[in-house]
Structure 1
Amino acid sequence: MNRKIQFLSILFLGFSQFAFAQIKEEKLILNKKREPEVKKIEKKKTSVETIKNYPPEEKSQNPVKYTITDVPAVSDFKTSTIQGQDVTPKFEGTAQNNYLQFGMGNFGKILADANISKTLENKLEVGADFHFLSTLGLKKEYAWDSKQSSTAIGAYLNSYGEKGKFNLNAQYGLDNNRYYGIYALEPAADVDLKQRVNQFKVNGYYDFYSNEILNDVRVKSSFLKDHFDAQENQVSILANLSKHAVEIGKSGVNLNADLGVGLEAVKSEFAIRDKNSSNFFNTTLDPKVTFRKGDSYLMLGSTFSFLNAKNSSDLMGGEVKNNKTYWFPQAEFQFAAAKEFKFYGGVDGGLKLNTYGDLLQANPFIVSDQFLKPTETKYHFYAGLRGDIDETFKYDFSAGYGKINNIMFFQGNDLFDNTYTLNRSAYNFANTFSAVYDDGNVSDIKGSVQYFPLENLILDGEVKFTKYDLKNYKDIYNVPLFNASIGAKYTMLDKKLLLGFKGIFASDRTTNSFAVEGVANPGMVYQSTENRNDKVGGYADLNLSAEYKFHKNFSVFAIGNNLLNSNYQTYKGYKVLGAQILGGVKITF
């Protein structure tokens, strides 16, 4: 371990001469935004503030745009589960829609990625995406198969009209995973641990350039089916009505009025174990008004949800119906003493429908039979301070406290039967998880910073503490108290070389686990005991990247993940890949 620390210290010292460049957390599915951008037409000013460019115009003829987005500090970096965000480094301002990318690395990793688009004479853009990544898994750690792959194929259409922009996209995704996290039994090497998830999505989006009456309309749909015949259909429609920039007398105060109207329906059916089934239909109304003067504002609003829920399972022996109306407060203020110091605070809440698709994104090792309940954030108060100092340092720090009903988290499953045999289903080795719910309070402290010491250098960091006080459970399972990330991005050699760094950190997580003892006598059964206070260790995951452009249409890249070679686990039994190196080429046209 000391040698690793010495090696990294020397490596970081060398890179400090050139600074660093940010890479995103590893994701094998490219997270491309397919909503078209407004071109040459700007929308009227809303309650969302516009961030200035760095450096100021008097300092540079080519200002560099920067923003801080409100994203959780928790990284979904999972090197072995083919999840997270794309780590391929990106050159700012030089992105091209048409490209081909191919890479290979250790652990049998293969990356193939392509995007092709064409703009027609009537300002209609059509395009297609393809992405594939696979790994042979941890052959030295497990006797059984732990290989995984992820494939995404999509098509999209963008249209720019005189009054607004329109986007339509469709995507098919196929994830081949394995329930390889077996720690309590010793199955044969040829045991079948396969799980396959197919998902088809169709989304539509229309955005008017002005904020007059109808602002935008979004339609989303998803159709999911897995290896064990679980099925889930989901559709949502959201329309935003608004009237913005209404002047109130000569006070200098502007009024923005908004009304969001949403419909969401989810139907989930499972075919194994308890054969849970759920059907949710939720209608939401979000009225709000915002009073703004300069950078200071006050927003007042509410959220109303009207939920119709139906649940059934073999255990229930019938269908349980529930119709309920919810009200949630919505308010936020910001007092801008100066651009360097902006005090803000507020309260929010809402109802979130937990779907099987969402659960799989958070934990792909859940069993294909889940009891689904919505999570209700009754209220969440928060206050903070943010600002922009000399257009080189941007920060945002806040603290909050809330009350939540049906907090969703994951607990490990025991063996589903005690028969003394290893001839079991893929999910019946105490190697899967199920969603559990509890009411409680949550306290959080979070912060994010970005620093722009040079035009071609960006440094950033995020940190978050989250403490849960539950009603029934002593500890919340598989949720860290502390997580953080640091990153940097640096371009050099006339923007031909891009260097990147990303560090991801998390504290220990409490989990439950099982110890299984087999009884050798015929006719006997397995005996198991549950440990409700087990720990999954924290981790530090460090990553570096580099890309060099030999030509405007050709570049090579190299990405190093988990360079400390940490053998940590994402969930009990699921070790991640060790140190990984992936290299490849990219052709743009």
Structure 2
Amino acid sequence: MFQTKQFLLIIAALTTTLMFAQEREQDTLNPDVINVIKPYAPTISDAFKVKETPTLDDAETATKKEVKYNIFSFPVASTFTPAKGKAAVVDKAKKVKLYDNYATLGVGTYTTIVGEVYLNHELNSGENVSAHVSHHSSQGGIDGVLTDDNFLDSKIDLSYSKLTNDLDWTVAGGFGLQSYNWYGLQQPLFNQATADSLDVSHNFTDAHISGALNIEDGIFKGADILFRRFGDNQGSGENRLKLSGTADIPVRDEAVSTVLSLDYLGGSFDRNYFDATKINYGNIQVGLAPTYQIKKDDLTVNLGVTLTYLNDTEASKSSFFIYPNISASYRLVDEYVIAFGGVKGGLIQNSYYDFATENAFVSPTLFITPTDQQYNAYAGLRGKLSNTIGYSVSGSYKSEKSKALFQNNLVPYGFNNDESYHYGNSFGVTYDDVTTLGVSAELSVDINRNFTLGVKGEYFVYNTKNEAEAWNLPEIKGTLFMDYQINENWFAGANLFFVGERKDLTGFNDIENPSLPNLINETQIVTLDSYFDANVHVGYHVNDRISVFVKGNNLIGENYNKWKNTPVQGIQFLAGGTYKFDF
């Protein structure tokens, strides 16, 4: 009871205290209106940044409930029926039938006969045999010529080739027969009576066999071999053997393309131009030519050198030559402007076969030796003017020791002219150190495979050491060729060429003999006129197999002299046909 009274007294005391405190607080508050004298100016320190990811003070974070979407689909009947697709009609060109074999025959003025047959047969996949036979002859009839001027050129070539995944190889062989005449007797020095007493025919025979091997993978890349036997009806004969092999030799993780070659030449002539002394010639060349290629972006550089060992088997002399083999190209503007240049050299193997191929009127009395091309420096630009027009402009400067020059054989004076080539109607070879500055420009137009056109012009400046002129070398040369497929049946083409003036020597070859009278102006330099030769052809495809054609050669009709005293046939026409077939 006592405790209850004490508890009630305590509560009453607390209540009285709180009420007294509240009254005192109410007494101190001023109920008047407060006027703000200075406006509030917030500062940066008063601001606070709201966090992008606020902190959750929830005692428990609720897991987001996965929402599932359902599509309530039901079938709907449709009466639409799609039409069947139909491919668009495209006009297709008629597929051209290609044949493996063909035969051509043509006849023309000057009793000219042209024939050619090509046969090819596939034995198995990648295994082929082929044969090529060609013939070109004319009975001549050039105005003003005193002797026979007919010619004949017949060849046959056979080959066998094998192609596999890793390599391919070919074996080939052939035989050729050529017949020409030394018909260019110097007139008016010799007359018809002299011509009737001469046999001016000169026949060449050529037999050769060759082989080639190409390998895809490995260090050794390929090899080539050629053996040729060449001779004539004047007792001359020549053998030539050429071997070469190519390998990519690794050097410090780089490949150096290396060519190793061997070139043997040996031959003889029954006599020289002056007497019956026999001429023998021969040499062996061994060459090594490593080349390292650098490619970086638009720049390509080939750095190489050619090392050649020469052994003159007749003179028992040996020599060693070092030639540069450097070339480079740089794309200045994509394929439109490409700069190129280089410096190269080499020991050129001259041969009776090469001389007779270039000039069929050579005498079988030649002195044959190699030409030392010390260097040939060249530079230029090539590229495209458009997608169909290409161009090339270049300049060159080369230095050659013992360069072979054709020269008209002088008429013997003071010794017997008992050979049919002693009448100013044949050519010999003389050698001199020659430097040549050349400039050339070329333009090619290839609109499509139905029309192609090419034009090329060349200008040369020669400087000789011993000879008075660079004999029979023109200063200006120009060519133009064109092929045009007019429509599905008709086709045409043209081949035009211009050769500028050349210099040659004429007169007498006087043997020093005190008993003979001295000749006045025994030799003279003559200028051969420039000439222009125009050749065109027109043809018609009768069907896939048969075509007929008409050709016109030397349409200017000029009996120009390509070589001194040897006028060519005038205007010529030839008509013929071609037949294509399969076995």
1:536 matched residue in structure 2: 528
Structure of higher CA gyration radius: 2
Indicate the residue corresponding to 1:356 in structure 2. Answer: 352
1:501 is matched by which residue type in structure 2?
A: A
The match for 2:383 is: 387
Alpha-carbon separation, structure 2, partners of 1:94 and 1:425: 56
2:548 is equivalent to residue 556 of structure 1: yes
Cα deviation, 1:488-526, whole Å, max 9, x if unaligned, reads: 1110222x2221011100110000112699xxxxx9999
Asked whether the equivalents of residues 418 and 525 of structure 1 are also in contact (C-alpha less than 8 Å), the reply is: no
Name the SS of the counterpart of 1:371 in structure 2.
coil
Task: Report the equivalent of 2:210.
Answer: 203
Relative to structure 1, the CA distance from residue 472 to residue 341 in structure 2 (aligned partners, 3 Å threshold; closer, same or farther) is: same
Conserved? CA contact 1:438–1:473, under 8 Å: yes
Q: Which residue of 2 aligns with 1:42?
A: none
> Structure 1, residues 249-300: CA drift from partner, whole Å, max 9, x if none?
xxxxxx6531000001000111123421111100000001111134420110
Q: Are residue 513 (structure 1) and residue 509 (structure 2) matched?
A: no
Whether 1:583 aligns to 2:575 is yes
- Give me the identity figure in percent: 22
Q: Is the 8 A contact 1:516 1:527 kept in 2?
A: no
Aligned to 1:222: 228
Aligned partner of 1:498 among 478, 486, 491 = 491
Q: Verify the 8 A CA contact 1:228 1:272 in the aligned structure 2.
A: no
Inter-CA distance 428–448: structure 2 relative to 1 (3 Å threshold): same
Asked if 1:180 is matched to 2:189, the reply is no
Match of 1:151 in 2: 154
Paired amino acid for 1:301: G
Q: How does 1:77-116 map to 2 (within 5 A)?
A: 96-116=99-119
RMSD: 2.6
Higher relative contact order (CA 8 A, sep 6+): 1
Pairing partner for 1:464 from 458, 462, 468: 458
Distance 1:559 1:525, change over 3 A: farther
Check if 1:306 corresponds to 2:340: no
2:330, 2:453 → 1: CA distance? Answer: 27
User: Paired residue for 1:428, among 422, 427, 430?
Assistant: 422
More helix per residue: 1 or 2? 2
Report what 1:405 is aligned to: 401
In 1, Cα distance between equivalents of 2:215 and 2:144? 54
In structure 2, distance between residues paired with 1:232 and 1:528: 39
Residues 141 and 239 of structure 1: CA distance in aligned 2, closer, same or farther (over 3 Å): same
Conservation of the 8 A alpha-carbon contact between 2:341 and 2:379: yes
Aligned pair count?
476
2-structure distance, mates of 1:94, 1:373:
51
- The unaligned stretches of length 5 or more in structure 1 are 1-60, 63-92, 249-254, 312-319, 518-522
Judged with a 3 Å threshold, the aligned counterparts in structure 2 of structure 1 residues 455 and 119 are, in CA distance, closer, same or farther, namely closer
- After TM superposition, give the deviation of residue 415 of structure 1 in Å: 2.6
Structure 2 alignment gaps of length 5 or more: 1-90
Superimposed CA distance per residue, residues 319-353 of structure 1 (whole angstroms, 9 cap, x where no aligned partner): x2220000001111111012101111110000001
Which residue of structure 2 aligns with residue 450 of structure 1? 444
8 A Cα contact 2:469 2:503, kept in partner? yes
Q: For residue 300 of structure 2, what is the amino acid of its counterpart?
A: Y
Change (3 A) 1:427 1:188: closer
Is residue 133 from structure 1 mapped to residue 136 from structure 2 by the alignment?
Answer: yes
1:10 is matched with none
Q: Which of 236, 242, 264 is residue 248 of structure 2 equivalent to?
A: 242
TM (norm. structure 1) is 0.77
* C-alpha spacing 1:434/1:528, structure 2 compared with 1 (3 Å): farther
Counterpart of 1:323? 318
2:553 partner amino acid: N
Superposed, which structure 2 residues align to 1:66-81 within 5 Å? Answer: none
Shift of 1:189: 3.2
Q: SS of 2:156's equivalent? A: strand
> In the aligned structure 2, how far is the partner of 1:562 from the partner of 1:282?
42
* Residue type of the alignment partner of 1:261: L
CA distance in 2, matches of 1:528, 1:120: 70
Report 1:567-578 matches (<5 A). 567-578=559-570
2:313 aligned counterpart, secondary structure:
strand
- Taking a change above 3 Å as real, the CA distance of residues 515 and 578 of structure 1, as seen in their structure-2 partners, is farther
Measured after TM superposition, the shift of residue 121 of structure 1 is: 2.0
Check whether the contact 2:223–2:243 (CA below 8 A) recurs between aligned residues: yes
- Relative distance call for 1:256 and 1:563 in structure 2 (3 A) is farther
- Compute the displacement of 1:404 (Å): 1.2
